[in-house]
Amino acid sequence: MDWRKSMIKRVVLSFMAIILLTLALGGVTFAFAVRHYFYSGVAQVLLNRAEASDALYGQFSGNVRINRWGSPFMEALDSFRARNALVEILNPEGDLIASSSGLTETARVPLNSRIINGKETSRVERFPRTGEKVMAVYYPVQIMGKPYIIRYVSSLSGIDRELMLIYLGTFVCAVVIAALVFFISLRLAKSIVTPIRHIISASEEMASGNFNLRMKDHYSDELGVLAKTLNTMAEEIQKNDKLKNQFISSVSHELLTPLTGIRGWSETMIINHTLSPAELEEGLNVIKSESDRLQIIVRDLLNFSKLQGNNIKLNRAKMDIGVSVRQSAASLQIKAAEKRCILVTGENGRLSFTGDSIRLQQAIVNLIDNAIKFADDGSRISIDYYEENHQVIINVKDKGIVIDEKDLPYLTDAFYQVRANGRGSGLGLAISDQIVRLHGGKLTITSNKQEGTIATIRLPDYHC
Ligand SMILES: Nc1ncnc2c1ncn2[C@@H]1O[C@H](COP(=O)(O)OP(=O)(O)OP(=O)(O)O)[C@@H](O)[C@H]1O
Ligand SMILES: [Mg+2]
């Protein structure tokens, strides 16, 4: 994939933008803080020096006669001298009166209001003669009873050199951090994008029809979930495909069987004119029953497709569940008798419910039909109905073929048959399930050797 459109670029750029911004802000703040710390340190040392000198000078300032140079200003300069700093005496207007450098030709020093108001202060200035950056500290004193200002001037070049080294070190650190973040974000982005690319290429394969492919789902994060989901999707598609094929073959088989009977008998009747009336009647009976079977299969298919498309509107009305259960059982009595099975319906009297009695009866018939189909010959099939926790329950229970646990979740899927090509199209339970769902209920099936197979319809309390 084009790097410019890749997630890698976005992740790396976002990370770098954040880190560069943080480093720039942090760097500038740090530089200002360090500069302030060093400069104020110099100013503070000079101010302390001035204070200490002033205390000493105050004790002797009256005794002008002991001054070695015979000048009060020289004596003051001597008292206030400091290491690595030039000491000057200014009058309140800023004129230079005396200087420890001996030079006094400097122009008037511009004073700010703090200094004029007799407050000690410090500021960074340019030295007039050399243009060098200096720290100037102003301290008010009394010489000969008159106000003057002591001005210390100390060069900042040494400190600036040290500051430059600190700035350089900080800059190098910032570059190293930025480089580290770049490589870490690149690795991180690749660790996200590489599995995504695997998943993309695998899903492209799947999209082109290769559903046998499975993705590695060893990722423990969301990508693992995505890989698992796509694998499940591929399995589902394969399963549906298999079901569809099974369905087509079973429907074709189902349709072919009666058609073969119909065709066989009709041909016999056309060709053979010597058939006895009894044989003719038998042939016609076969043609009729096979046509009936065809009709049932086609009706089931239509029913199912209607239910699937939610094209069915329930005709709800007050009904008696007991009546529906008994009528359903009665309609299958002959079929049960063929297998010598006994249908036993629980006699719980009236159980009223508001629902579509025709559809519900269809759902119950499908369950009893299955029970007869899969029960042992001569066994007992019980159909119970009752109310429990404000729900209407209908149970159809038989003893016979046990359904494997792994098949249970798929029984209500359309066309699903545990043993493919058995009689029927595998639509019965799918239709029943849809009908029960439309009533807001649930169809469940359990099966084990001890209790047999129990199909249960649960309908929510619906009395209106
Ligand atoms: N009572 C039961 N005992 C054992 N297996 C059952 C029982 N009921 C359903 N099954 C299994 O579930 C499958 C699906 O049932 P379903 O009623 O949907 O289809 P069918 O009976 O095969 O066909 P159809 O109902 O369309 O004639 C059956 O093929 C059968 O394998
Ligand atoms: Mg069935």
Distance 137 CA to ligand 2 centre (A): 105
Question: Is the CB of residue 243 below 6 angstroms from any atom belonging to ligand 1?
Answer: no
Mean pLDDT of 255-269: 89
For residue 241, the CA-to-ligand 1 centroid distance in Å is: 20
Same fold, 222-308 and 317-460: no
Residue 453 CA: which ligand is closest?
Answer: 1
DSSP state string for 39-54: HHHHHHHHHHHHHHHH
What is the CATH number that goes with domain 3-160? 3.30.450.20
Q: Could you tell me the distance, in angstroms and rounded to a whole number, from the CA of residue 367 to the centre of ligand 2?
A: 7
Interval between CA 307 and ligand 2 midpoint (Å): 16
Can you tell me whether residue 161 is helix, strand or coil?
Answer: helix
Between 336 and 258, the more confident residue is 336
Q: What per-residue confidence (pLDDT) applies to 462? A: 61
- Within 8 A by CB and 6+ apart from 384, the residues are 345, 346, 348, 393, 394, 395, 397
Residue 177 Cβ < 6 Å to ligand 1: no
Measured distance CA(71)–CA(61) in Å, rounded = 11
Task: Answer yes or no: is the C-beta of 416 below 6 A from any ligand 1 atom.
Answer: yes
pLDDT in tens, 216-244: 767 778 888 888 898 999 998 988 888 77
Whether the model pTM is above 0.85: no
The predicted pLDDT at position 68 comes to 44
The β-bridge relationship of strands 452-460 and 391-398 is antiparallel
Q: Quick check: CB of 412 below 6 Å from ligand 1?
A: no
At 393, is the secondary structure helix, strand, or coil?
strand
Probe target for ligand 1 pocket from 373, 405, 410, 453, with the most ligand atoms within 8 Å of CB: 373
Which is more confident, 104 or 51? 51
CA 233 to centroid of ligand 1, rounded, Å: 26
Nearest CA to ligand 1 atom 13: 417
Could you tell me if the CB of 365 is within 6 A of ligand 1? no
Give the length of the chain.
464
Alpha-carbon distance of 203 to 234, in angstroms, equals: 9
How far apart (Å, rounded) are the C-alpha atoms in residues 341 and 204?
55
Question: CB of 424 closer than 6 A to ligand 1?
Answer: yes
Superfamily of domain 317-460: Histidine kinase-like ATPase, C-terminal domain (3.30.565.10)
Decide whether any atom of ligand 1 lies within 6 Å of the 452 Cβ.
Answer: no
Q: Residue ranges per domain, the chain?
A: 3-160, 222-308, 317-460
- Nearest ligand 1 atom to the CA of 412 is 18
pLDDT for the residue 304: 77
Q: What is the pLDDT of residue 464?
A: 47
What string of DSSP letters covers 305-367? HHHHTT------EEEEHHHHHHHHHHHTHHHHHHTT-EEEE------EEEE-HHHHHHHHHHH
Q: Is the Cβ atom of 398 under 6 angstroms away from ligand 1?
A: yes
- Measured from the Cβ of residue 225, the count of other Cβ atoms closer than 10 Å reads 12
- Determine the Cα–Cα distance for residues 325 and 329; give it in Å rounded to an integer: 6
Q: Which helix (H) or strand (E) holds 434?
A: helix 428-438
Q: Are 414 and 244 in contact (CB under 8 A)?
A: no
Just give the CATH number of 222-308.
1.10.287.130
Tokens 């309140």: give the residue: 92
Residue 334, token pair as written in the block: 């002959």
